[in-house]
Structure 1
């Protein structure tokens, strides 16, 4: 049974097995409010309605909680990208949907999404490795789309973009999206231009 210190007035106490997700939600709320660099374990515990002891029962430190939140965030959005790439239909529409899915996380939760791309490096090598892995998987998804179109619709003359080239484009798209969040442009414009750029790279080269 949850102790009074683990509850907020007017909310239910944590259910068995629910503590970890509530702590992740608490981390998300704290990051949205003050950014990861200014977060403390006490902030996360307070937002989650939990005790510090409960926090340390699930995470070794603040970095571990933040990294776990990023992994949850990234998996959800990479799954959306994979679904868009694997869908039926015009390859350009699939490409546009994949770009939209990748940027949707920033549009839906701009403070949290921007924090990951700007502050994950504060966790050291572990954070940099996770960012690199997400970039690689997004690049691999674009590469896979090019291979699929090349095999299924050879008349389009699609050349298989390398994973490295796709990763470069993904990194540029993310950076432009961050600029848009800072007031330099609009995310809708980034989405449209990014899809058009990828389409030109994928579909304009003759065989």
Structure 2
């Protein structure tokens, strides 16, 4: 069983009398359904994420499925929300650690890229298959992108210290997040998700340059790149 399956899909409950509460059973069933949806969407695409495929993988009945979800779009949206919540929780935890804004932003990017590389099913669902799941899914994607913009807002303060904030348009965080999402999308689509952590230095530069200028952005980005190279040399 793949790591993604184990992360998201708990073992089936024993049949017959088991003494477990109804709430526990329902939570387990719903979690198995969501985990199955994530794995199937990531492996087979939204087109392959049928209700039949989901219930077969989750090991629950069709009746149980419809107790939680109205159709496959409904479960896709719920699973997408879960993936986004998990990603944001990890990024927020990284961002809330002490350090300068650039250090905290570096941790956010490193956390996000590493998590995507370790969970390719989630990456494919969140960046590729969401585009095939209809207008409601696109609205959820747009909302998720807005959440990630919060990490860039302090860039205006950093720019103000260099008398450059007034030259930066208000949509700059939207442009940066949009560019990063597009770059990640392309790698995931090409099944190069494992390579995402290697983009940390370049994406740091892209995120910082509008606020700090090219020279300082390059210097800050290089710090993270050198740390990764040193870590690889140490583990080799």
- In the superposition, the TM-score normalised over structure 2's length comes to 0.71
Q: Please give the root-mean-square deviation of Cα atoms over the aligned residues, in Å.
A: 2.8
The match for 2:110 is 100
Equivalent positions of 1:7-156 (< 5 A) are: 11-13=12-14, 15-143=25-153, 145-146=154-155, 155=161
State the distance in 1 between where 2:197 and 2:164 align: 26
Per-residue CA deviations over 1:80-139 (Å, capped at 9, x if unaligned) read: 222333321132221111122333342121233123222213332211110000111111
The answer to whether the 8 A contact 2:117-2:197 is kept is no
State the distance in 2 between where 1:156 and 1:26 align: 50
The answer to whether the 8 A contact 1:176-1:190 is kept is no
Distance 1:110 1:162, change over 3 A: farther
The match for 1:195 is 204
- In the superposition, the TM-score normalised over structure 1's length comes to 0.80
Unaligned runs of 5+ in 2: 1-10, 15-23, 217-236
Moved over 4 A (4+): 147-150, 154-158, 160-163
Aligned residues: 193
Q: In the alignment, which of 180, 183, 201 is matched to residue 173 of structure 1?
A: 180
1:157 CA drift (Å):
5.6
Distance 1:35 1:123, change over 3 A: closer
State the distance in 2 between where 1:70 and 1:163 align: 28
Distance 1:158 1:90, change over 3 A: farther
State the distance in 2 between where 1:42 and 1:163 align: 46
Unaligned runs of 5+ in 1: 1-9
The answer to whether the 8 A contact 2:130-2:138 is kept is yes
State the distance in 2 between where 1:158 and 1:64 align: 45
- The reply on whether 1:164 has 2:165 as its aligned counterpart is no
Distance 1:67 1:104, change over 3 A: farther
Larger deviation, residues 122-131 vs 50-59: 122-131
State the distance in 2 between where 1:108 and 1:60 align: 31
Larger deviation, residues 134-143 vs 175-184: 175-184
1:163 CA drift (Å):
5.6
